[in-house]
Homo-oligomer: A and B are copies of this chain.
Amino acid sequence: MTDVSNVLSDLTRKPDRGGDRHLVDAVFDECVVATVSTVIDGQPWVIPTLVVRDGDRLLIHGSTGAGALRHAAAGAPVAVSAFLLDGIVVAERQFDHSANYRSAVVRGTCRVVDKTERSAALDVFTDALLPGRPTECPPHSASEVAATLVLELSIAEDNWVAKQRSGPAAEPEGDAWTGVIPVRQTYTTPVSNSHRDIPASVSAVVARTGLP
């Protein structure tokens, strides 16, 4: 089962699984939630959080009171990691079981998005999760903008790694069944908390990511 074990492991293990910048973009554009890792007092620290990509930057945001984000805002090194699980690969031997996946890690230090850019960055954030949604909402208030910390991590030439596995299981030696169980993140029918019509941005994202 080494192949399962190697899933999303460090690039040195499976150089043929290295990806390119398009893969980085695809992973962050689809993941919704990513994981921000940093180091506090020599210990690993990790926060799953919503992350969006905007061109050559990742945007992370949180309350101005969130400790780990403040640590990152103060210049602590971060590694932002995301993955998409695409399938469970079922082989003849347990050892050859694996996963189909796409993953990316971007490293560096974050820049704090300053007050003058923050409102626009928050729109970009919402728009990446629910395209068109910012125009359906009232404008941000000054207190909302003031209460929100927005961090930006550049995706540069050499600060990322992307990996993937796709395709079938290893060939069986015997007459065993092998195959792949596709896995996907699915949005289902919205649960309305009001009698109003579902907004266009919500209908569109469900149509795009729901099962056919």
Residues of chain B with a CB closer than 8 A to A4's CB: 50, 61, 125-126, 129
Q: Distance in Å from the Cβ of A61 to the closest Cβ of chain B?
A: 4
Residues 73-108 of A contacting B (Cβ, < 8 Å): 77-79, 81-83, 85, 87-88, 90, 92-95, 97, 99, 101, 103, 105, 107
- How many copies of this chain are found per oligomer? 2
CB-CB under 8 A from A103, the residues of chain B are: 48
Tell me, rounded to whole Å, the shortest Cβ–Cβ distance linking A116 to chain B: 17
Hey, which chain B residues are within 8 Å of A23, CB to CB? none
Q: Is the CB of A179 within 8 A of B191?
A: yes
User: In angstroms, how far is the closest chain B Cβ from the Cβ of A20?
Assistant: 18
Contact of A130 among B38, B88, B101, B122 (CB under 8 A): B88
List the B side residues contacting A153 at CB < 8 Å. Answer: none
**11 residue pairs A–B, Cβ–Cβ below 8 Å:** A4-B129, A7-B49, A32-B88, A47-B81, A88-B130, A93-B144, A175-B194, A176-B194, A177-B192, A178-B193, A183-B188
